Amino acid sequence: MTTTPPAVRPKRPHFSSGPCAKPPGWSPDKIDTHILGRSHRSGLGKERLKHCIDLMREMLVLPDTHRIGIVPGSDTGAFEIAMWTMLGAKPATCLAWESFGEGWVTDAVKQLRLDPTVIRADYGELPDLAQVDWSNDVLFTWNGTTSGVRVPDGEWIAADREGLSFADATSAVFAYDLPWDKIDVATFSWQKVLGGEGGHGVLILGPRAVERLESYMPDRPLPKIFRLTKGGKLIDGIFTGETINTPSMLAVEDAIWSLQWFQEQGGLKAMIARTEANAAALDRIVEQRNWLGHLAQHPEIRSKTSVCLTVDGADAEFIKRFTKLLEAEGAAYDIASYRDAPPGLRIWCGATVDTADIEALGPWLDWAWSVLGEQMQ
Ligand SMILES: Cc1ncc(COP(=O)(O)O)c(C=O)c1O
């Protein structure tokens, strides 16, 4: 191996797992700014919010059974709105196999004081999904962004469940074909696969979730930004563009731009194909190097978006130096594993990344490996 830098750099070295790369061709001057400086409750404001909602529905291939709305607080806000408004009616089970799932356990135990059944697995593994009791409400992360482990499909979710399924799907939407009939609540943020901005969350509710909201009022105070019902009825406006409070219309327009790019590429199928091509390109890089490995050993549960890699013998300090070298060269940004995860690399393979850039990254990983190897001799 050589310490001479490779000749070709990834054109866009944006491999962060959130906020993720903007779509190819994106630039701020392409964003429609007509609505800026105007009310989100004006005719135009409502129209743009509704347009964003309609595009999300189309790009997700979301059935009419499910409502979709824009809420405050990014994915965290959307998931916590769902937890605070709906949990407590039934026993709860929380599944956790990385830090975000663990965060929902903390909320359920320490804040909501629900005494849930908690089923855990280590980083790189998935818990035994057959253990899940579907008389409970079940909370899980479809794609664990910090361990690179995802659920393989929706087969393990009971069709005749009594409880509700709550999927934190922020790094899964637009990357996998989600079985909406198995999902009662899903949440995501624009900053992931869409390459949009943080700040707003998206809340998706199936009919059984709406039924829960309209029949159950938890015995806890709910701040205004968490309230989805009025007089025991769902506030339908939230799902047609009448947001609870003031959104960033710049973030909304930015999301619209990304969604239109998705549409031009061929929609969900095309986005899944781009993600899979990226993950396959990264997989080839891993296969060809004995010092790189996958944190998720089993391919059927390995994420195709937030791919987490092990680096032979690396500790947190090594990863810091490795990723700093690549950042300084403009070859790869933000590819260190998450702070709570085992030291390693995490490379985003979602649809807004170009496969050629993943391919160009391989020689740069070799370069950083040999530079650090020399320095340590
Ligand atoms: C699985 C998962 N859940 C929740 C979050 C929090 O998302 P946000 O910062 O958009 O609230 C993230 C962010 O990386 C995530 O990956």
Q: Which of 204, 196, 170, 182 is nearest to 303 (CA)?
A: 170
Find the 213 Cα to ligand 1 centroid distance in Å. Answer: 24
Does residue 1 have a pLDDT over 70?
no
Give the model's pLDDT for residue 2.
Answer: 72
CA of 73 to the centre of ligand 1 (A): 10
Q: What pLDDT sits at residue 23?
A: 98
Ligand 1 pocket mutation, candidates 145, 225, 338, criterion most atoms within 8 A of CB: 145
* pLDDT one-digit tens code per residue, 5-26: 999 999 999 999 999 999 999 9
The model's pLDDT over 186-214, given as tens digits with 9 standing for 90+, comes to: 999 999 999 999 999 999 999 999 999 99
324-370: pLDDT as tens digits: 999 999 999 999 999 989 999 999 999 999 999 999 999 999 999 99
Mean pLDDT of 295-313: 97
Q: Per residue in 210-220, pLDDT tens?
A: 999 999 999 99
375 has pLDDT over 90: no
Per residue in 109-123, pLDDT tens? 999 999 999 999 999
* Res 208: pLDDT: 98
Q: Using alpha carbons, list the distances in angstroms from residue 126 to 144, 156, 177, 275, 297.
A: 10, 12, 19, 21, 10
Which of 98, 100, 339, 340 best tests ligand 1's pocket when mutated (most atoms within 8 Å of CB)? 100
The residues, any chain, with a CB within 8 Å of residue 245's CB and separated by 6 or more, are 72, 224, 225
Burial class (CB in 10 A: 0-12, 13-18, 19+), 309: buried
pLDDT on residue 129: 98
* Among protein residues, the one whose CA lies closest to atom 16 of ligand 1: 145
